[in-house]
C-alpha cells in the first residue's frame, strides 16, 4: 500500500473506538499522519506510535513518561499490500500487551502532554517567538532577526535585573560593580 492509502485506512480504523487508534497532531517531520495505540504498552512502558511517512508506515516505541517524545530508536516497518494485512500488522502487536486501567491512564496522560507540546510550539519553527511571548510577555515581530532577539533579551534583563547575573560577576569575581555597589570577594 502507498502512504496515502495507509493514511486513509488508518483514518477509517481510528473511527472504530474498539480498534484503539487515536490520531495525534503532526510535528517536526514529513509525516502524513500520526496515530497512537491506546490499548497497548510494550514491556509495560513503551507506547506504540504509528507514523505514516511518504515511504510507508512505521511503528515507533516512545516511553510513556518521556519528556522529549523521541522514540527508542527501535522501529518496525509495515510491508503489507492490503487493508487486511494492515489490520493484522496492528492487531498482532496488541496480542498479550493490552493495558489495564493504570496503563490506559498513563497513555491518556501521554496524549495530553503530547498535544500540549505541539500546541505550545515546541515542535514549531517559531519556538523562540512563542517562548518569548508565553514566558516573558515579549512579542518578537514577524521575520525577527538575531538583533531583535538580543534586544528583547536585554529588555527582559532590564525589567528584572535581580533575576540575572552580570557577565562580569561570572568572569571577574573581584570586580567592583558601581551599579550594585558591592565588592566581590576572591575564593
Percent of the chain with pLDDT over 90: 32
| Burial (CB count within 10 angstroms: exposed 0-12, middle 13-18, buried 19+), residue 107 | buried
- For residue 141, the model assigns a pLDDT of 83
Give CA–CA dist 112/133, Å, rounded: 22
Residues 6+ apart with CB under 8 A from 86: 1, 6, 9, 10, 57, 78, 80
- For residue 126, the model assigns a pLDDT of 66
| Dihedral (CA of 121, 125, 127, 132) sign | negative
What are the backbone angles phi and psi of residue 103, rounded to the nearest 5°?
A: -65, -40
The kind and range of the H/E element at 53 are: strand 46-53
Question: Is 166 within 8 Å of 157 (Cβ atoms)?
Answer: no
pLDDT confidence bin for 111, thresholds 50/70/90: very high
The kind and range of the H/E element at 4 are: helix 3-14
Residues 6+ apart with CB under 8 A from 145: none
- For residue 164, the model assigns a pLDDT of 62
Strand partners, 50: 35, 59
Residues 6+ apart with CB under 8 A from 87: 13
Mean pLDDT on 8-15: 93
Question: Is 62 within 8 Å of 46 (Cβ atoms)?
Answer: yes
Mean pLDDT on 96-115: 89
Give the three cell numbers for residue 56: 510507508
Amino acid at each position: 500500500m502507498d502512504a496515502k492509502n495507509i493514511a486513509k485506512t488508518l483514518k477509517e480504523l481510528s473511527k472504530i473506538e474498539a480498534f484503539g487508534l487515536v490520531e495525534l497532531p503532526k510535528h517536526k517531520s514529513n509525516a502524513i499522519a500520526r496515530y497512537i495505540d491506546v490499548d497497548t504498552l510494550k514491556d509495560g512502558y513503551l507506547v506504540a506510535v504509528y507514523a505514516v511517512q511518504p515511504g510507508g508506515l512505521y511503528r515507533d516505541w516512545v516511553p510513556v513518561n518521556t519528556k522529549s517524545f523521541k522514540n527508542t530508536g527501535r522501529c518496525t516497518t509495515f510491508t503489507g499490500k492490503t487493508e487486511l494485512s494492515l489490520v493484522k500488522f496492528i492487531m498482532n502487536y496488541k496480542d498479550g500487551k493490552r493495558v489495564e486501567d493504570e496503563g490506559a491512564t498513563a497513555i491518556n496522560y501521554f496524549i495530553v502532554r503530547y498535544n500540549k507540546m505541539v500546541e505550545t510550539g515546541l515542535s514549531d519553527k517559531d519556538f523562540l517567538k512563542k517562548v518569548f511571548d508565553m514566558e516573558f510577555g515579549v512579542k518578537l515581530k514577524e521575520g525577527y532577526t538575531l538583533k531583535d532577539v538580543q534586544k528583547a533579551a536585554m529588555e527582559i534583563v532590564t525589567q528584572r535585573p535581580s533575576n540575572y547575573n552580570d557577565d562580569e560577576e561570572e568572569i571577574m569575581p573581584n570586580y567592583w560593580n558601581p551599579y550594585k555597589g558591592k565588592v566581590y570577594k576572591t575564593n
